[in-house]
Chain A
Amino acid sequence: MQATKLDTRLIPTHPAIANLLPGGGLKQGSTYSVDHSITLLMALLAGPSAAGSWCGVVGVPEFGVEAAATFGVDIERLVLVPHPGDQWLAVTAAIADVMSVVVTRPPKRASDTSLARLAGRLRQRGSTLLVLGTWPQSEAMLSLSQSVWSGIGEGHGYLAARQATITVSSRLGEAPRSARLWLPDPEQKFRDVDPRSMDASPGAMHSREKPRHLRAAG
């Protein structure tokens, strides 16, 4: 199937994720749905935000701003609307008018007509919508699976880094693509897992360390 528009422009996307997306990046005026993972959402926001775009987050009161800042989202250009309430559609549309990337979580009772109206507005304005949850006409659905945390053991260490598999299923009927990524790596960056290097199996990294149990002394 061909794309319905000729000149879809891409917005800057993190290279690790860009390769998985249909068309090679986030498209202006399109909608992407993200399944449950706010880290993945931040990975998608980091690219456009670093390139100077304003980002809006509507209806996600639990969005961790500090994590967003460490993962490369510029919080000076980040606007939060935690509780849009009944006016979710109007607020999201108003935010999408002025911001190039908008994160939103649709309420359960959002009707199909209102979603279609919002999608039309987005296409007209050229804003990209990232939806937490499902969306009927999304360009692609991103989900996270097989998380493996490193740096933490049985009562010792701390959460330091994580590897996870991102799966992108596009609506154009292509086979889902997936990749193994550091989300984040020990330096708080997102990058591909290099299968040849040591870090392919994060469990091995810390298994040689002897577990240390801290006890109060004296």
Chain B
Amino acid sequence: MNAPIVRTMVLWCPDWPIIAALREAAAAQGLPTQGSTMQGSTALGSTVQGSRAQAAGRSDIPLALIEHGVVFACSAAARAEGVKRGLRVREAQARCPELVVQPYNAVHDNRAFEEVLTAIEAMMPGVQLLRPGTCAIRARGPARYYGGEKPSALALIALLDQLGVPGARVGIADGPFTAEQAARMAGLTTGRSARVQIVPEGASAEFLAPLPVSLLDAPALVTLLRRLGVTTLAEFAALPVVDVLGRFGEAGAHLHSLASGHDSRPVIQRIPPEELDSTVEFEPPLDRIDQVTFGVRASSDRFIEALTEAQLVCTALRIEIDSESGEVSERSWLHPRSFTAADVVDRVRWQLQGSGEVDTGLTSGITRVRVIPESVDAIGHHEVGLFGGGPDERIHHGLSRVQSMLGHGGVLTAVIGGGRTLADRQTTVPWGDRPLLTRQPTQPWPGTLPPPAPTTIFPTPHPVHVLDATGGTIQVDDRGTLSASPAQFSPTGSGRTMRQIQAWAGPWPIDERWWDNETHRRSHRFQVVDAAGMAWLLVLVSATQGSDSSWWAEARYD
């Protein structure tokens, strides 16, 4: 408890979630031009300024970010209309009808603040991230470099203004807790010096004294203290340490020391992540796939070596390919185990090939290939066992070889999901990718076919003819009644292969998404057994504007 108290500078960006959301929106609009300027802090600065110009145009929009149905953060414009944190969405929209509502995304927050942290680290070392929008810096070094605490704080605010983060504030005090409160108390006026609040050394207790106990981040304790009649931090600090320790335990004693200005937490500087990306530039641009893959071979060797040196393996990576005509191709690739150099080269080739399986050549020359590890894991988790990795590894190698012949989508595994039609129910994913089920199999899907499932599902349904006993066509009216019983059908859709129908069942209507004109689907399904004992699943697609009703064979039970 008597550890030396560190003089700390805390930077606080008010409404950071809102700033992050606006930046994300701006980045989504201007992605193709801006994806390439991410190296080093100078390039970063220009990128951020570019998005700042876009964000500035939108900063007056009343925006609210929603989490769990209540407002998590709102912009200044929304706050002026009476929206505040903790309000329910409906209430917030009633107060401000033009409110733009977006879901809160913690990932955006962190990702956007990463840029700010990198920029600060370029200026003063030893930054600790407290939470997105707030970070702590040891004050001693910058204070000596800039000739005082105030000048160093002003330099930091100037940097944030340059990055396009409006209204950042800085507090300097003994320990991060007091410094953060000082930053939050700093004035709201426009002058830069008014946005800095410095609590002199040893004056933390006086500064904290009038503040309410609710600033302590322990809701249960705060409620209890209020009921005990303790409302300010000074009153809490006045309680004897021994009593607080006896009543509230170690956690309570820690909060007590915070309240009395003895915040002994050190500032732990973060270790900047290493740059593991690998980039290859081609000058002059290459227009053949094999040339490009040969060109990236050496760099992907180095890429994997660098990862191995950092004791990491890569399980997902992103490949960005720039072409001469300005197109950017970006794609993430997953690996069921971890990437080797040859796997990386394969992924580059598949991305260039696209869906085409043959070597079709490229429409324009490739100028740059960039490989970025998206998720890495400690190498210890991926060590091959003493006696090899068992049969699964062998299978993976074999299938990867087939993938390198046919392309990534050539080798598939299947997952069974929910849905009404057969095509909806079975989802295929390329070997190595993660299956993504959009329709949950656990939900009830009224209208699905009764088992057994058909064994042959035609990749594309083909047209058939179904006729009644007299050779007339068959219709289903709006009420689901058949005009006549089906008596003969032709599986190829020509008159010569007509077969008698032995048994049939239907119509089973499917009327999906009738509320949406684009995806509305209305059809009737039939099961039919022909004279040879072969069973078919047929679909009668109802007539719509501009097209007659038609019969299709969807599957066969053979």
Contacts and interface: CB of A to CB of B under 8 A. Distances in A.
A161 B451 CA distance: 9
A81 B397 CA distance: 15
A147 interface: yes
**Range class of the A interface residue count:** 35 or more
Interface string A63-102: 1111111110001101111111101001100110111000
A94 B401 contact: yes
B557 to A, nearest CB: 6
B558 A188 contact: no
A118 interface: no
A190 B410 CA distance: 32
Contacts of A146: 533
Contacts of A70: 451-453
Contacts of A95: 398-399, 402
Nearest to B413: A79
A18 interface: no
A176 interface: no
A148 B531 CA distance: 10
Contact of A75 (B415, B482, B558): B415
A38 B456 contact: yes
Given A154-B504, A157-B505, A216-B481, A42 B455 contact: yes
A65 B557 contact: no
A23 B453 CA distance: 32
Interface in B485-509: 485, 503-506
Given A65-B416, A147-B533, A155 B504 contact: yes
A147 B505 CA distance: 17
B414 A159 contact: no
Contact of B395 (A54, A161, A164): A54
A152 B422 contact: no
A138 to B, nearest CB: 20
Contacts of A66: 416, 422, 425-426, 453
Contacts of B506: 155
B341 interface: no
A99 B395 CA distance: 7
B130 interface: no
Interface in B407-429: 410-416, 422, 425-426, 428
B459 interface: yes
Contacts of B453: 64, 66-67, 70
Given A62-B459, A64-B453, A79 B527 contact: no
A148 B533 contact: yes
Given A75-B415, A216-B481, A152 B395 contact: no
B558 A79 contact: no
Contacts of B481: 215-216
B479 interface: yes
* B395, B405, B414, B457: most-surrounded residue (chain A CB, <10 A): B414
A97 B398 contact: yes
B398 A65 contact: no
A65 B441 CA distance: 14
B503 A80 contact: no
B555 interface: yes
B61 interface: no
B512 interface: no
B406 interface: yes
Interface in A18-77: 36-39, 42, 54, 61-71, 75-76
Contacts of A81: 402, 406, 410-412
Given A98-B394, A149-B533, A153-B503, A159 B415 contact: no
A85 B406 contact: yes
A85 B357 contact: yes
Given A66-B416, A67-B452, A67-B455, A159 B505 contact: yes
Contacts of A91: 402, 405-406
Contacts of A98: 394-395, 397-399
A39 B480 contact: no
Contacts of A64: 422, 426, 453-457, 555
Nearest to B428: A80
Given A153-B505, A159-B535, A94 B398 contact: yes
A158 B505 contact: yes
A143 to B, nearest CB: 12
A149 B454 contact: no
B534 interface: yes
* A65, A85, A160: most-surrounded residue (chain B CB, <10 A): A65
B298 to A, nearest CB: 27
Interface of A: 36-39, 42, 54, 61-71, 75-76, 78-85, 87, 90-91, 94-95, 97-99, 144, 146-149, 152-162, 164, 184, 188, 215-216
Given A67-B455, A160-B452, 11 more contacts: A64-B422, A68-B455, A80-B413, A98-B399, A99-B398, A147-B534, A149-B529, A152-B527, A158-B449, A159-B505, A161-B452
5 contacts: A38-B456, A39-B557, A42-B455, A65-B416, A78-B413
